[in-house]
Amino acid sequence: MNKLGGNSNGIKISRWPNFPSIDSVLSPSSKYGVVTSQLYRFSRRTFSSKNFRHSALILVEKMIRFEYCSKTIIKKIKGFEKHWLPHLGRWKQQLRLILKGVGMIQKKIYSEKLMVDTMKKELKENYE
């Protein structure tokens, strides 16, 4: 299928990482620098703070799922203030909403991992 919303081997293209693997030989500053560069790109392609937050949180969720450190991601998000454009509203308000979203993502991923671990444990006990 095509690049615009299509898929490849049954995986939606939007779920593919658009950042380097956490295991790559790149330096941590290069790996986590993606957060700043993508936020910069998002801020210039939209005129809506809601769309900016939505894009930022999709990126954050993907990075956390691919085992990036959420604390480092948050640090990079907080450092984005110097690049903030006024047409998107007040930075502090947007930061608060983004961090709230990050917290919800962290809880969601943690509960999913907990559920998977519980299921694995039950399966292991049933086959022993």
Which helix or strand (DSSP H or E) is residue 41 part of? helix 28-45
User: Beta-carbon neighbour count of residue 75 at 10 Å?
Assistant: 12
| pLDDT at residue 92, as a whole number | 96
Quote the CA–CA distance of 73 and 36 in Å, as a whole number.
9
Does the pLDDT of residue 60 top 90, yes or no?
yes
Q: How far apart are the first and last CA of the chain?
A: 44
Does the pLDDT of residue 10 top 70, yes or no?
no
Delimit the domains of the chain by residue range.
22-127
| pLDDT tens digits for range 18-59 | 888 898 999 999 999 999 999 999 999 999 999 999 999 999
| pLDDT tens digits for range 87-110 | 999 999 999 999 999 999 999 999
Question: Is residue 15 within 8 Å of 8, Cβ to Cβ?
Answer: no
Does the pLDDT of residue 1 top 60, yes or no?
no
Which band of pLDDT confidence, cut at 50, 70 and 90, is reported for residue 6?
very low
| pLDDT at residue 122, as a whole number | 86
Does the pLDDT of residue 113 top 80, yes or no?
yes
